[in-house]
Structure 1
Amino acid sequence: MDDSNMIGRKFGYLTVVSKSDKRISGRKTWVCRCDCGNTKLVTDTALGKSTISCGCYRRERASKLNLKHGMYKKRIYRVWRCMINRCYDKNHESFEDYGGRGISVCDEWRNDRNSFFKWAIKNGYSDDLTIDRIDVNGNYEPSNCRFISKIEQQNNKRNNHLISYNGETKTIAEWERTLNLKAGTINSRLRRGWNENDAVSTPLMKRWERKYSRQKIQQHHPELAGTSDIEAMRAIREESFKDYARKVSV
């Protein structure tokens, strides 16, 4: 192309003003004015390719990224990142329960993290809250998401086991807090065949009770031979520790 035709041409943010007599690495150069008002000397090979501004574009882009990505090292960014990974990363430990079940993230949030950040802050985001889907079988989208405490989220899991006792129906996690009985103990009892009522209503065995096997209970309490372990332990609890200790010596 004739050098004279370069004058006035625009490459990105740069407009060619004149040809320079200076050469850089043997290449001819052009004096260009940037849209921001600065001037810059650019080689013909870089013009419009590796160089499209005086440097302001890179700074502007970095500033925008910092605005969008400003929470990069903060928890809200990790919330967004983990939400995406659960739904689309097949190697993620929770993919089977999310993406594997067809759960997805709306395009607005998936393609623009800043959009998610704005929605989150507007809808009560806090570092001590977690994102929750109102419909556990629905997608991550504004109409189906909210921020709640971790305890509330545990109660909204699709695999929650609901137990009715004393006219109340609660999750195992809720019964744990109500009865001061560990969820692991309740789950263990259910796995061993205990009914739900007994699993939550039976207090933990005391240390001295654990010392005695079912065989010893039957040996010293023949009247309990046909009863379940639970009924046997309840009957024994009706006796005082001293009376029981006197009957069953180690």
Structure 2
Amino acid sequence: MRNEQDRNDSVKKLKSIHASLKTYCTNPNGRHFAAYGGRGATICPEWMDKNGNSRFADWALDNGYEPRLNLMRRDKTLPYSPANCCFADRKTVHRNKATVRPVHFKGVKTSLGEAIESFLPSYDNVVYTRVRLRIDAGWSITDAVTKPPKSTM
């Protein structure tokens, strides 16, 4: 009985996510439209028709939906669709945002956060800000990430 209740709770949450997604992508008066529909984000016809919310919920439950995860388009140039979407943690979604500027670190195109994390596995916002300021001041990506901060003592 508990599993059925969990599923019903998930379906209810997913239908809410679907409704929000439709608003983000299709309502020019919506609060988030500029970041979604205003940038060209669309939703596949399968998720837009009268049964779209149920289809979306079924797809999500079959494809890794967990309440702690967020919906993410793998390719920002393609619509929200079963073939282009997945569920990912907040950090992964953030690094996939259209506003994230890619950097080249050790010969690989990556996000700045991933570059820092490859050198310092547990970093914080202070480290990120320091590296970002160094890059803005003209430092190379490699130096900005790998050089230790000057001691203040």
TM-score interval for Structure 1 and Structure 2 normalised by the shorter chain: 0.7 to 0.9
The residue matched to 2:100 in structure 1 has which SS?
A: coil
Structure-to-structure mapping, 1:90-239, within 5 angstroms? 90-110=28-48, 111-112=50-51, 113-178=53-118, 179=120, 180=123, 182-208=127-153
Query: Aligned partner of 1:121: which letter?
Result: L
TM-score (structure 2 length as normaliser): 0.73
The aligned residue for residue 87 of structure 1 is 25
Displacement of 1:122 in angstroms is: 1.2
Q: Where is the helix percentage greater, Structure 1 or Structure 2?
A: 2
Q: 1:189 to 1:81 in 2, by over 3 A?
A: farther
Gaps (5+ residues) in structure 1? Answer: 1-69, 209-250
> Which structure is larger by alpha-carbon Rg, 1 or 2?
1
Query: Aligned partner of 2:102: which letter?
Result: L
Displacement of 1:93 in angstroms is: 3.9
How many residue pairs match? The answer is 139
Tell me the C-alpha RMSD between the 2 structures: 2.6
Alpha-carbon displacement from aligned partner over 1:145-187 (angstroms, at most 9, x marks no partner): 1122222223323333333334444311212333236322222
Is the Cα–Cα contact under 8 Å of residues 106 and 140 in structure 1 kept in the other structure? yes
Gaps (5+ residues) in structure 2? Answer: 1-7
Q: Distance in 1 between matches of 2:70 and 2:10?
A: 17
Is the Cα–Cα contact under 8 Å of residues 154 and 173 in structure 1 kept in the other structure? no
Alpha-carbon displacement from aligned partner over 1:169-212 (angstroms, at most 9, x marks no partner): 4311212333236322222222233332222122223333xxxx
Query: Aligned partner of 1:206: which letter?
Result: S
TM-score (structure 1 length as normaliser): 0.48
Q: 1:118 to 1:152 in 2, by over 3 A?
A: same
The aligned residue for residue 19 of structure 1 is none
Structure-to-structure mapping, 1:28-107, within 5 angstroms? 71=9, 75-107=13-45
Q: Distance in 1 between matches of 2:57 and 2:139?
A: 47
The residue matched to 1:131 in structure 2 has which SS?
A: strand
Alpha-carbon displacement from aligned partner over 1:203-247 (angstroms, at most 9, x marks no partner): 223333xxxxxxxxxxxxxxxxxxxxxxxxxxxxxxxxxxxxxxx
Displacement of 1:74 in angstroms is: 5.3
Q: Distance in 2 between matches of 1:132 and 1:116?
A: 13
Is the Cα–Cα contact under 8 Å of residues 135 and 141 in structure 2 kept in the other structure? yes
The residue matched to 1:185 in structure 2 has which SS?
A: helix
